Homo-oligomer: A and B are copies of this chain.
């Protein structure tokens, strides 16, 4: 069978996600409607109609304030602010769908693993196993200061914390309740057998948790684990824990290199290559005809905001204001490691110094992402297939610029072409999100995953 393409809608519970300046576009309903349940339930129905695997909710818990060392640029452009909690959307969206899954971002730096584990178990119950956790360690300095810290915890230590966090979570999800703990024995007047419910008594370098877990086992137990590490430490973390890895790169060839590197790291952790799926980023501007699509792009570009783009670039840890007047060759000598950076924790190189200049990485919508495909449905579907093959990924997180129209157009125009080509499902498989992604595994993590290395503690009674 042809390798099947996976698609997630890349989103955020915010007024604007990656749509720099497009609150000005007359067709954009987003900034007015993201606060309404009906926006999200309608979107869920649309995505299920388009056979999307999941909606992937990115999240931040601070305001971007690296550019010009100010929060004002982000706020002026509503660049990922305001932003509401994504987990709270899930039950409404799940109630109007049967197959669409939900990947929710939560930071291991600012939420406690005990309550986080209960939240994901609750969602896994309510959705019948359609939930994933996108694990982040958070890169925004303001987020750190919102949670009582002086500034960002250093990059590698954030991953050390995340490792301990994951181990705590695995013990709660995988070892605390045995499968047959609920005995429902009326004769003996025992609903749950206390011998089959276990404290975890976790004592790690960062977390100390007694347990037991408060939720009974859900279909998946551990939610499907997403991660987007790009630094060496981040990639190693992803290879150790994640089942779906989100990567980016300037060209399909670079993405392919990253995929190969990640798969090697996955095997180094004793895991199988086929137990991990890799997703990259995709933007599409589609219309019935090439001319219409190009006109749409032109309209988007008219509303484009360089201020929003520069504010978001602060995620790299670099303040682009320091480079705006400089020649890239001068920037090369600028040597400043970024601890907080999302993309890397490394010294500035000539390549990314050039990318920092407004003329290159911060182009308008035709150049803002690694790949933006513009054209009629046949062209778009063909380009997606090429990208899919050349980058060797398993699927894409599909961006939107103007919503809901971008996604409506994608579902009505592109999805049928992808289906006709044989690389995209005509209908969903049955079962949980993990079972849909990994039919050879089923509902639960495989034995080769670290989560399965923990044994339960002695019985309570």
| Contact A210 B118, beta carbon cutoff 8 Å | no
Q: Mark A294-314, 1 if CB is under 8 A from B, else 0.
A: 000000000001010000000
Option from B77, B89, B112 in Cβ contact (under 8 Å) with A91: B89
| A123→B31 CA distance, assembly (Å) | 17
Residue A75 at the chain B interface, CB threshold 8 Å = yes
Question: A38 — which chain B residues lie within 8 A by C-beta?
Answer: 95
Known: A184-B23, A214-B83. A88 touches B13 (CB 8 A): no
Which A residues from 177 to 194 make CB contacts under 8 A with B?
184, 186, 189-194
| Contact B75 A192, beta carbon cutoff 8 Å | yes
Residue among A76, A112, A123, A461 with the highest chain B CB neighbour number at 10 A:
A76
| A197→B73 CA distance, assembly (Å) | 12
A448 to chain B, nearest CB (A): 29
Question: A189 — which chain B residues lie within 8 A by C-beta?
Answer: 21, 24, 76-77, 305, 307
Which A residues from 121 to 157 make CB contacts under 8 A with B?
121-123, 125-127, 142, 145-148
Question: A186 — which chain B residues lie within 8 A by C-beta?
Answer: 24
Known: A90-B88, A94-B37. A460 touches B72 (CB 8 A): yes
A206 to chain B, nearest CB (A): 9
| A193→B81 CA distance, assembly (Å) | 12
Residue A92 at the chain B interface, CB threshold 8 Å = yes
| A35→B125 CA distance, assembly (Å) | 5
Known: A146-B211, A147-B112. A76 touches B126 (CB 8 A): no
Which A residues from 4 to 43 make CB contacts under 8 A with B?
13, 15-16, 21, 23-24, 31, 35-38, 40-41
| A191→B24 CA distance, assembly (Å) | 8
| Contact A71 B35, beta carbon cutoff 8 Å | no
A357 to chain B, nearest CB (A): 22
Chain A: interface residue count, which band?
Answer: 35 or more
| A21→B91 CA distance, assembly (Å) | 29
Residue A340 at the chain B interface, CB threshold 8 Å = no
Question: A15 — which chain B residues lie within 8 A by C-beta?
Answer: 191, 216
Known: A84-B118, A88-B87. A95 touches B211 (CB 8 A): no
| A172→B191 CA distance, assembly (Å) | 44
A100 to chain B, nearest CB (A): 14
Residue A114 at the chain B interface, CB threshold 8 Å = yes
Residue A54 at the chain B interface, CB threshold 8 Å = no
Question: A122 — which chain B residues lie within 8 A by C-beta?
Answer: 13, 84-85, 88
Option from B37, B81, B91, B194 in Cβ contact (under 8 Å) with A75: B194
Residue A208 at the chain B interface, CB threshold 8 Å = yes
| A342→B343 CA distance, assembly (Å) | 48
Which A residues from 57 to 84 make CB contacts under 8 A with B?
61-63, 70-72, 75-78, 81-84
Residue A209 at the chain B interface, CB threshold 8 Å = yes
| A145→B82 CA distance, assembly (Å) | 35
Show the binding face of A for B, using Cβ within 8 Å.
13, 15-16, 21, 23-24, 31, 35-38, 40-41, 61-63, 70-72, 75-78, 81-85, 87-96, 110-112, 114-115, 118-119, 121-123, 125-127, 142, 145-148, 184, 186, 189-194, 197, 199, 207-212, 214-216, 218, 305, 307, 460-461
